[in-house]
Structure 1
Amino acid sequence: MKKIAFITGASRGIGRATAIAFARAGFDLAISARTLETGEVFQHSVRKADGRPLDGSLNATADAARKLGAQVLVVRMDLLDNNSVINAAQQVLDHYGRVDVLINNAIYQGADLNHTFMELQPETLERVAQGYILAPFILTRKLMPAMLEQGAGVVINITSGAGEKDPPFAADKGGWGYGYGAGKAAVSRLSGVLSRELGEQGIQAFTVNPGVITTETLKETIGEKGVLALSNCSAAPEIPAAVFVWLATNTTATNYQMCTINAQPFAIEKNIKAES
């Protein structure tokens, strides 16, 4: 029986690359995001400079994964809606009856996320709390009983340096703001709690910092010149995706819990190869 990987935020970027990597590794998939079809428009989302939505969709990701032999369940999920998160988890459990690997990749990415402290509004922090704390908690909590019943499960939470250190510059000069930093700081604490409390029952949990990744969102946020400037210190989404697969399948991965794994140097250290 093939194992099941549930990847959130899989319409583009790291999530899409992760879904394809797990399909290539022999997993069947459940994938979620808001965007089922390319071109759908949502409130509180990053858009192109001309206002159009970013490229990518769940159905396009599913098509690519199915070509690799995976069964794929596509589930629309909105992190800012608790009922949507609960319903997505239930759909996956109803369809597969189990989840072996959960990748909490989706985040809130509204245009207000990186405002400076004096620009930041309470409404933004409410969305940050919903997207970075409540939604991953609700989803993981909903799936955990099935993992505990089967005696095994892997949870991978994706953090950022913004959640673990102070910004090198002000938010309006290339650094990050309190909203994003606070959200990722919360993400960084989840895996250690899961490992400590549920490790003896077969649960493994990891915190991974992908580093700077050249996703569609990054390209639209900093522009082509910014991407070129980062060319020597950024990586393709396939790099962290390959690290996630390694953590979910390698018998020695358990040794890398209770810490933050920096995906790019980790891939080099472990000779983890990414396929595009």
Structure 2
Amino acid sequence: MKQVAMITGASRGIGRAAALAFASAGYDLVLAGRMQGDAAQRQYSLTGADGKPLPGSLGSVAAEARERGARVFCVHLDLLDGASAELAADQAQDQAGRVDVLINNAVYQGSDLNASLLDLQVETLQRVSQAYLISPLLLTRRLVGPMAQQGAGVIINVSSGAGESNPPVSAARGGWGYAYGAGKAAVSRLSGVIKAELGHRGIRAYTLNPGVVTTEALEATIGAEGIRALGAGSAPPHVPAAVMLWLCRQDTAGTYQKRTVHAQPFAREHQVVDEWSSPSGG
């Protein structure tokens, strides 16, 4: 039986790259995201320079993955709704039959996410708490029990340097705000608890920091010129995706669970992918 990977936030960027990497490696997929957004959901979505939602959908990624031989199921997931997270987990297991890998990649991306400290509203923190802390917990908890019964399972929580270090500059000058940093800090703590409590039952859990990744969302946030300025400090989405796949397939002993895996130096050190070029062509 083929293994099944469930990937949240799979419409574009790192999620899409992970879906295609796992499909190419022989996994079946459950892709989770906001399949049909209402007005309230669109309010908390990133838009491009034209003010329109960023391109990409679960359906288009599913079609690409099926071309690679994968069975693909799409389920609705709204991180701002805890019941949606639990329902997504139940639908994943009902439709795919099992889940062997869970990649918690989806994030809340409202325009208020990096508000400066003096402008930060309690409502923003409540949304961040729901999206970064509560919903991933509910989704993970719903799936990790059946994984433990299977005797094996892998959970990868996609974090960020913002959850483990201080911003280099203020939010107003391009750094991250307290809400985003606090949200990602919560994500960074989940894997260690899973390992401590369920590692003896065959569950591996990793915290992955993708670094700066040149996605549509990043361009919407800092612009194409900002991406070019990053130069060699950024990587395309297939780099962290390849590291996720490597961890699932190669690190069967769970060696890299005890620290945050920094995807870009890790990829170079372990020759996970061929060297990539910077956006500026260097």
Q: What TM-score does the superposition give when structure 2 sets the normalisation length?
A: 0.94
Tell me: CA distance 1:268–1:252, structure 2 relative to 1, closer, same or farther (3 Å).
farther
Q: CA deviation at 1:131?
A: 0.5
Deviations 1:236-273 (A, max 9, x none): 00000000000111145510012101000000011102
Q: CA deviation at 1:159?
A: 0.6
CA contact (8 A) 1:238 1:274 kept: no
Give the Cα–Cα distance (whole angstroms) in 2 for the partners of residues 226 and 202 of structure 1: 43
CA contact (8 A) 1:36 1:58 kept: no
Tell me: CA distance 1:13–1:150, structure 2 relative to 1, closer, same or farther (3 Å).
same
Deviations 1:66-88 (A, max 9, x none): 00000000112101011111111
Deviations 1:146-175 (A, max 9, x none): 101100000000110000010000000011
Q: CA deviation at 1:36?
A: 5.4
Give the Cα–Cα distance (whole angstroms) in 2 for the partners of residues 113 and 50 of structure 1: 20
Mapping 1:112-261, distance limit 5 Å: 112-252=112-252, 254-261=254-261
Give the Cα–Cα distance (whole angstroms) in 2 for the partners of residues 158 and 223 of structure 1: 23
CA contact (8 A) 2:116 2:177 kept: yes
Tell me: CA distance 1:35–1:214, structure 2 relative to 1, closer, same or farther (3 Å).
farther
Q: Which residue of 2 aligns with 1:49?
A: 49
Tell me: CA distance 1:44–1:32, structure 2 relative to 1, closer, same or farther (3 Å).
same
Q: CA deviation at 1:43?
A: 2.1
Letter in 2 for 1:51: G
Give the Cα–Cα distance (whole angstroms) in 1 for the partners of residues 231 and 32 of structure 2: 29
Q: Cα RMSD over matched residues?
A: 1.7
CA contact (8 A) 1:11 1:36 kept: no
CA contact (8 A) 1:210 1:264 kept: yes
CA contact (8 A) 2:268 2:275 kept: no
More deviation in 173-182 or 250-259?
A: 250-259
Q: What TM-score does the superposition give when structure 1 sets the normalisation length?
A: 0.96
Q: Which residue of 1 aligns with 2:99?
A: 99
Q: CA deviation at 1:230?
A: 1.1
Deviations 1:117-168 (A, max 9, x none): 0010000000000000001100000111110110000000011000001000
Secondary structure of the 1:136 match is helix
Tell me: CA distance 1:231–1:35, structure 2 relative to 1, closer, same or farther (3 Å).
farther
Give the Cα–Cα distance (whole angstroms) in 2 for the partners of residues 238 and 174 of structure 1: 25
Secondary structure of the 2:240 match is helix
Mapping 1:34-73, distance limit 5 Å: 34-35=34-35, 42-73=42-73
Percent identity between matched residues is 57
Q: Which residue of 2 aligns with 1:25?
A: 25
Q: CA deviation at 1:16?
A: 0.5
Letter in 1 for 2:113: L
Gaps of 5+ in 2: 277-282
Give the Cα–Cα distance (whole angstroms) in 2 for the partners of residues 274 and 95 of structure 1: 35
Gaps of 5+ in 1: none
Give the Cα–Cα distance (whole angstroms) in 1 for the partners of residues 22 and 81 of structure 2: 27
Letter in 1 for 2:81: D
Secondary structure of the 1:75 match is strand
Letter in 1 for 2:238: E
Tell me: CA distance 1:65–1:114, structure 2 relative to 1, closer, same or farther (3 Å).
same
Tell me: CA distance 1:48–1:208, structure 2 relative to 1, closer, same or farther (3 Å).
same
